[in-house]
Amino acid sequence: MKFGVVRFPGSCDEVDALMACRRFADADLLWHGDRDLSGVDAVVVPGGFSYGDYLRVGAIARFSPLMESVIEFARDGGPVLGICNGFQVLCEAGLLPGALLPNDSLRFVCRQVDVIVENPGTPFTRTCEEGDSLSIPVKHTTGRYYAPPGILPEDQVVLRYARGHNPNGSMDDVAGVCNEHGNVMGLMPHPEHAVDPLTGSADGGRLFESLAMVPA
Amino acid sequence: MLIRPKKGILDPQGQAVERALPALGFDGVANVHVGRLIELDVEDPSQVPQMCERLLANPLIEDYEVVEVTAA
C-alpha cells in the first residue's frame, strides 16, 4: 500500500503529511506538474497555499496537471484525502460539495480542537467508532465550511467540531465531509500534525491508519 | 467582472467595514458587502461568462456581473 502526497508551489504541510503516511505505509511526494500518479493507492492533498492561493483559495491549483489526474483517480473510486488547503482544492475541483469561506472572525486561528467522528463508515475513519472525539490542531484563515441547502446529505458529514470548538463559523459545525461514494474526504483540521504523543495527540494518525488499510 | 458574495451568506468583511464607517462619523450606512473587481482585455467577450463559471468566480458562493467597456 502506497500513499502519494501532492506538492504544489506554496504547499507547506506536505512533509508532515508524508511522515504521517509513512507511519502506516509507503509514501512518496507527487509533483504538481506531473501527470503520472506513479501507481499510488491513495492520494493526500496537503495544506499550504497552493499557487499562492491567488484569486481564491485552491482555485488555480485545481487546474494543475497532476490535479487533472487526481480528479480522474477519484472518479475511478481511488481514495483522496484533502487537508486544509487540500480540502479547499478538492471543493474547487468539484470532488467535494460546498466551499470554504473566510473565518467569521476574519482572523487566522491556530489551536487544538476536538472533532467528533460522525461517519465511521468511510475509508478514512474505519478505525474509529461513531462519536469518537479526536484532538487535532487547526490553523487557517479560510476555513468556514458552507454548502448551499440540499447539497450535503447528513451521511457525508464525516467530522464535526465538538460543541464549543468550532473555530471558524462553519455551517452546522462541519469539520470534514466526504463525497457521495465516500472515497474522497476533506477536512480543515490537520491530522498530519497529530500523529505523535510528543506533540500532544496522536489522534490524527487514525485517519492515515484507516487509509492504509485500503487493499493494495 | 464584478464578483460579490452571494446574498444570505455571512460576509464578515462587509460587516467589519459597516462597523468601521460610523466610527469615523459616517452615519446611515447599511448592507455593506465587499467583493472583487477583475479587469481584462478579451478579443471574444462571449467567452467571459464561461471564464467566470470555471475560474474567476465560485458560483456556489459568489455572484458575478460582466460589465463590457469597448475600447475608444
Task: Determine the residue of chain B that is closest to A93 in CA distance.
Answer: B54
B37 touches chain A (CB under 8 A): no
Please give the tally of structural domains in chain A.
1
Q: Note the pTM of the prediction, 2 decimals.
A: 0.93
The distance of Cα A188 from the centroid of its chain, to the nearest Å, equals 6
Does the pLDDT of residue B71 top 90, yes or no? no
Residue pair A41/A1 in contact (Cβ under 8 Å)? The answer is: yes
Interface test with B, best of A54, A56, A171 (most B CBs within 10 A): A56
Task: Determine the residue of chain A that is closest to B12 in CA distance.
Answer: A104
Residue pair A4/A44 in contact (Cβ under 8 Å)? The answer is: yes
pLDDT tens-place values along chain A, 216 residues long: 999 999 999 999 999 999 999 999 999 999 999 999 989 999 999 999 999 999 999 999 999 999 999 999 999 999 999 999 999 999 999 999 999 999 999 999 999 999 999 999 999 999 999 999 999 999 999 999 999 999 999 999 999 999 999 999 999 999 999 999 999 999 999 999 999 999 999 999 999 999 999 664
Please answer yes or no on whether A148 and B60 come within 8 Å at the CB atom: yes
Q: Cα separation of A166 and A208, whole Å?
A: 23
Instruction: Read off the pLDDT band of B70 (50, 70, 90).
Output: confident
Q: Cα separation of A86 and A64, whole Å?
A: 13
Q: In chain B, what are the domains?
A: 2-65 (3.30.1280.10)
Q: Cα separation of A157 and A160, whole Å?
A: 7
- A101: which chain B residues are within 8 Å (Cβ-Cβ)? 9-10, 61
Residue A91, CA distances (Å) to A83, A126, A170, A192 in order: 11, 23, 15, 20
Contacts of residue A212, Cβ cutoff 8 Å, sequence gap at least 6: A1, A3, A21, A24, A25
List the catalytic residue out of A21, A84, A91, A128: A84
Please answer yes or no on whether B10 and A144 come within 8 Å at the CB atom: yes
Percent helix, strand, coil in chain A (nearest 5)? 25, 30, 45
Contacts of residue A154, Cβ cutoff 8 Å, sequence gap at least 6: A118
Q: Cα separation of A175 and A172, whole Å?
A: 9
Q: Cα separation of B66 and B52, whole Å?
A: 9
> Which ranges constitute the DSSP H helices of A48-130?
65-75, 85-92
Q: Residue A139 pairs with which residues in a beta bridge?
A: A110
- The residue range of the domain holding A160 is 2-212
Q: Cα separation of A70 and A80, whole Å?
A: 8
Q: What is the DSSP letter of B25?
A: T
Output the domain CATH number for residue A137.
Answer: 3.40.50.880
Q: What is the pLDDT of residues B18-68, one digit of tens each?
A: 999 999 999 999 999 999 999 999 999 999 999 999 999 999 999 999 999
Residue-level pLDDT at B72: 66
User: Residue A177 carries which side chain, given as an amino acid letter?
Assistant: V
Please answer yes or no on whether B56 and A92 come within 8 Å at the CB atom: no
Q: State the residue for C-alpha cell 462619523.
A: B25
List the catalytic residue out of A14, A92, A118, A192: A192
Residue-level pLDDT at A157: 98
- Give me the torsion for CA of A175, A179, A182, A187, rounded to 10°: -20
User: Residue A93 carries which side chain, given as an amino acid letter?
Assistant: A
Does the annotation mark A192 as catalytic? yes
Q: Cα separation of A186 and A209, whole Å?
A: 16
Residue A11, CA distances (Å) to A17, A195, B69 in order: 11, 19, 38
Residue-level pLDDT at A215: 61
Residue-level pLDDT at A216: 47
